[in-house]
Structure 1
């Protein structure tokens, strides 16, 4: 239902937000139900401006999925395959290094690496992969693995989560990804991802990493079978962990993609819902500086609009994305840096290139005379698979 706000109620919320007082869960839910998207966006945009000014960031990065074989069968997932499936894949360490070498030639600063819970790859494979990539260039930042992957690797290594993370860090891991959070509500997780880690396990992996001095991002998959109250509960748990550790560098809401999976969703997220989700997240997650509009799921035009609804980051160049596109995403496989810069400038923001930890890089954006080189690389990578 939509909540019809009186002027006095908006004034109370505006005064609370502008004075830096924290919103509670009831207020967050009512904001989600508000029919006044423009007022909500203006309020969120004001918070964004106070936190980060007029800049919007992006990263020059490359995605690598080492395999889509997975022992789980999450109903919402279009990426996972079994060994019997003809379109399953598994990369060797040498193939991963080759992809990384090509991407480094284009000036990337980050490799973003995740995969399925592989049924037979040994723990040593993951350590060898990290070591080989760091040996290729020690400056490259390795943002790898979701919480469920870490739990899987701990089981493979027969180590505690902390010892597993220590081994991964020693091999070269710089940052954990925020994937796999989905929605924390137990009933929703049981419906969309039976057998996956619980909310408490997801949070504990990140808590452990943060206590070790590590940083990570966090996500929420929205627009499937969850309620708005479930979304508020999800944000509440993230905010509480951020209060405790301060280890999250950014929040990335992910719109559900409805194709090629077993989860029947009649009304996937609309652009209106995505903008509301970004705005409420900016207002409620007051202990997060950065909010990413994930252009792969939103599309570039809506992601551009999102920069006026609380978002201050557009993610990265990507180069080769499988997970969202196997679920029906219509966005490009990649965005050249020149295109990211253009999108940000058209939105009235100052484009700033960042690193994995959302820290601005000192070097200004490179002269981008040949933005077509990234599409060419992506096509070559896909052809080799």
Structure 2
């Protein structure tokens, strides 16, 4: 085995390797020697069981320690899903609604500003804005949102608008995606989410939705954003009609993009939440990833992507907090965000809640022997180590009680465009 890791980690891995199969041992040794893992080798790792799986987890954890250290980062962020009215009717999504649906909503601009100001007062450094594709809002809504929020909160980082939303604005405004992105950046957009990727495979995407942007369009918009100086996350949605070969090819494509642009801030595996979706109800998908698949996804991501995209994030909304801890010991290093008012996963059937206070993140991070660190969207560290929270300080957000999007009434109001 390679001797490049810390001595205790290397000793543990060497012990595990005594019972590991030869093919898996060869791949893990390549990873520990900082050599590239091919998609074919990743498929082999996704099939690991028993001691092979334990060795994969240990190798991913050792590489995590080497590449990013012992910090587990998180960001204070509020989600503003400003409308759930959407014309696309993706089968894997239960968030979108037709305009006449009783659960349809659209926030007006005053509501959105109020939510952003509340987030800033609670100590959030970011708002994440995404919404359905609502035909009544017009193509200028995205630019108007950015301009209005930056006028009120000039120092707030706005992480907003997936490549699908960028394509939609481009079509409505009859402008190129690059022109749309440049206008948004000039208005104050800080970065974009790399969502709407799902699986970057044409066959899979045709099953998930026939009305969404193509894999090629997603790649083109992401590369364009990176080229003009807007960084983005990268994501995968797995555990539906896909298989390990799709996961490996998807990650290889993200790695190629990162080597070309350097624009990804992190990789975020997103397990399919099946409970309320038509995709599952129609018998087209399985009921999401298993626990072992969640662990393998994060571990293989560390081996395939860690040298190029060093930050691997757990989605605690998808995983649950306990499984998130396990993945943080299997290659991941970021806990994601506080996610105040997250609605998209909840509508699909996620049950883990919409908000985790920073002190709970820190408790869970300390529980696995790591160092908690609050970060910005772009991974600048704001504070490292355990804090002693004052319950009387509103910036701890202890007073916050998230609205339950499934049971509480939501105002149906028109955004001024």
TM-score between the two structures when normalised by the length of structure 1 = 0.95
How far residue 40 of structure 1 moved from its aligned partner, in angstroms, is 1.0
Q: Which runs of 5+ in 2 are unaligned?
A: 1-18, 412-417
The answer to whether the Cα contact below 8 Å between 1:319 and 1:374 also exists between their aligned partners in 2 is no
Q: Partner residue of 1:30?
A: 44
- Rg: which structure is higher? 2
Q: Distance in 2 between matches of 1:267 and 1:367?
A: 40
Shift of 1:369: 2.2
Q: Distance in 2 between matches of 1:290 and 1:95?
A: 33
Corresponding position of 1:200? 216
Judged with a 3 Å threshold, the aligned counterparts in structure 2 of structure 1 residues 363 and 170 are, in CA distance, closer, same or farther, namely farther
Is 1:97 the counterpart of 2:117? The answer is: no
Cα deviations by residue, 1:260-318 (Å, 9 ceiling, x for unpaired): 22102334211111011110111111311100001010011111111111100010111
Residue in structure 1 matched with residue 402 of structure 2 by the alignment: 378
Q: CA RMSD in A?
A: 1.8
Equivalent pair of 1:102/1:377 in contact (CA under 8 Å): no
SS at match of 2:402: helix
Question: C-alpha distance in 2, partners of 1:374/1:153?
Answer: 38
1:330 positional shift: 1.1
Shift of 1:363: 7.2
User: 1:182: Cα distance to partner?
Assistant: 0.4
Counterpart for residue 241 of structure 2: 225
Q: Kindly indicate whether residue 312 of structure 2 is the aligned counterpart of residue 298 of structure 1.
A: no
Query: Deviation at 1:117?
Result: 0.9
**Structure 2 equivalent of residue 327 of structure 1:** 348
Residue in structure 2 matching 1:148, options 139, 159, 164: 164
Q: CA deviation at 1:103?
A: 1.3
Shift of 1:204: 0.6
* Kept after mapping to 1: 8 A contact 2:197/2:237: yes
Alignment partners' CA distance in 1, 2:386 and 2:161: 28
Residues 374 and 69 of structure 1: CA distance in aligned 2, closer, same or farther (over 3 Å): farther
Aligned ranges 1:1-385 → 2 under 5 Å: 7-35=21-49, 36-264=52-280, 265-285=285-305, 286-361=307-382, 367-370=388-391, 373-374=397-398, 376-379=400-403, 385=411
In 2, the alpha carbon distance for the partners of 1:219 and 1:145 equals 14
Figure out how many residues of one structure are paired with residues of the other and give that number: 381
Quickly say closer, same or farther: Cα 1:124–1:268, change in 2 above 3 A.
closer
- Asked if 2 retains the 8 angstrom alpha-carbon contact of 1:77 and 1:327, the reply is yes
Q: 1:18 offset after TM fit, Å?
A: 1.5
Instruction: Provide the rounded CA distance (Å) in 1 between the counterparts of 2:286 and 2:335.
Output: 28
**Within 1, Cα distance between the matches of 2:292 and 2:397?**
34
- The alpha-carbon deviation at position 74 of structure 1 amounts to 0.8
CA contact (8 A) 1:345 1:351 kept: yes
- Maintained 8 Å contact 1:93/1:128: no
Q: Please state how far the C-alpha of 1:375 moved relative to its aligned partner.
A: 6.0
Task: Tell me how far 1:380 sits from its aligned partner.
Answer: 9.1
Matched-pair contact (CA < 8 Å) for 1:62–1:317: yes
Q: CA–CA distance in 1 between the matches of 2:319 and 2:360? A: 16
Counterparts of 1:241 and 1:146, CA distance in 2: 17
